[in-house]
Amino acid sequence: MTPASQKPFLLLGADGMLGRAFVELFQSQNLPFEPLSLPRFDLTRPESIRDAISPRFAAAINCAAYTDVDGAEQNQALANQINATGVGQLAIDCRIASIPLVHFSTDYVFDGAGRTPYPPAPPPAGSHPINVYGQSKLQGELLTRGVSTDHLIIRTSWLYAPWGQNFVRTITAAARSRPELKVVNDQRGRPTSAQHLAACTLALLRRNARGIYHITDGGDCTWFDLAIEIVRLVGAHCNVSPCTTADFPRPAKRPDYSVLDIGKTESELGMMPPWQSNLATVITHLEP
């Protein structure tokens, strides 16, 4: 029989921003894994979930999600089907196969009204996510926790990578083509390198961690602070000035204060590197 450590990881949503970081990590460490993505793996089709899950995997790592925060306001049913119902089905199939489920969630499960970092625990009774995406992700957490204790729910925030659609690439492109940018300075959170997130997730899995954890870069900032540092690192000649969320209304509300408490993760894995250093690493590898 293959020892548990040699079983492959099942990587769901392998084509997304975080999925790609896991592909890179597994390849660099010569770890066996099987990637699955749309259309073969589809969280809206229970039979495709059932077909994907098997006891031959060390764990299922789910990077698939509906992630269009503004789009979710118009597409509530689809966001719920993918982020809640589909994830609940995934948790059930993992329980049947007796394999752990690693699932990613978000700072947006909190209401954004706090002024101290949010602990890695269920949001306080009576608080509610302020947008549809956050509600769908919270429901996915609840369903996962309700099915089995053999899960690792990892909340993260403000994800960026050298690839995919993210703030770092958007600001880099804008700063290289425009003389001026206005960026919101009244939302505070923790940026997270997808490569750092994948590596820390694997480290937690190796320690058999279970339950809710938060993984982000170290430190916190506003989007404006982050934009200033991106522009500095890419050496663009662009003047970045601060503005308010109210200056740029969007379909989905955004939390003012979105800082996740990473103390529990740091006590297991050591201090998270400051966002400025993870950002510098990612910027040196930015894809065009």
* Site residues (CB under 6 A) for ligand NAP, limited to 28-47: 37-38, 41-44
Question: What is the contact mask toward ligand NAP in residues 87 to 106, using x (rule: CB under 6 A)?
Answer: -----------------x-x
Question: What is the contact mask toward ligand NAP in residues 132 to 151, using x (rule: CB under 6 A)?
Answer: -----x--------------
Answer whether 110's CB lies under 8 Å from 71's CB.
Answer: no
Answer whether 36's CB lies under 8 Å from 12's CB.
Answer: yes
Active site residue 133: yes
Q: Pick from 110, 158, 213, 257 the residue near ligand NAP by CB under 6 A.
A: 158
For Cα atoms 154, 156, 158, give the angle at the middle one, nearest 5 degrees: 165
| DSSP, res 286 | -
* CB of 87 vs ligand NAP, minimal distance in Å: 9
Residue reference for tokens 């590898």 = 285
Task: Go through 49-76 and write b for each residue having 16 or more CB atoms within 10 A of its CB, e for each that does not.
Answer: beebbeeebbbbbbbbbbbbbeebbebe
Question: Which region, judged by CB under 6 A, interacts with ligand NAP, from 15-23, 120-128, 216-224, 254-262?
Answer: 15-23
* Site residues (CB under 6 A) for ligand NAP, limited to 159-178: 159, 164
Residue number with CB closer to ligand NAP (157 or 172): 157
Residue nearest to ligand NAP (CB): 16
Regarding 157 and contact with ligand NAP (CB under 6 A), the answer is: yes
For Cα atoms 136, 138, 140, give the angle at the middle one, nearest 5 degrees: 70
Q: Write down the H helix ranges in 156-243.
A: 167-177, 194-206, 223-234
Residue number with CB closer to ligand NAP (99 or 104): 104
* Site residues (CB under 6 A) for ligand NAP, limited to 51-90: 63-67, 82
Regarding 203 and contact with ligand NAP (CB under 6 A), the answer is: no
* CB of 103 vs ligand NAP, minimal distance in Å: 7
Residue number with CB closer to ligand NAP (37 or 276): 37
Catalytic residue among 66, 108, 133, 213: 133
Answer whether 44's CB lies under 8 Å from 86's CB.
Answer: yes
* Cα–Cα distance for residue pair 151/103, rounded to 1 Å: 7
* Site residues (CB under 6 A) for ligand NAP, limited to 216-275: none
Side chain identity at residue 104, one-letter code: F
* CB of 156 vs ligand NAP, minimal distance in Å: 5
Residue number with CB closer to ligand NAP (185 or 216): 216
* CB of 196 vs ligand NAP, minimal distance in Å: 13
* Cα–Cα distance for residue pair 281/278, rounded to 1 Å: 5
3 state SS for 95-121: HHHCCCEEEEEEHHHCCCCCCCCECCC
| DSSP, res 123 | P
Q: Give me the active site residues, please.
A: 133
| Sites of contact with ligand NAP (CB under 6 A) | 13, 15-18, 37-38, 41-44, 63-67, 82, 104, 106, 137, 156-159, 164
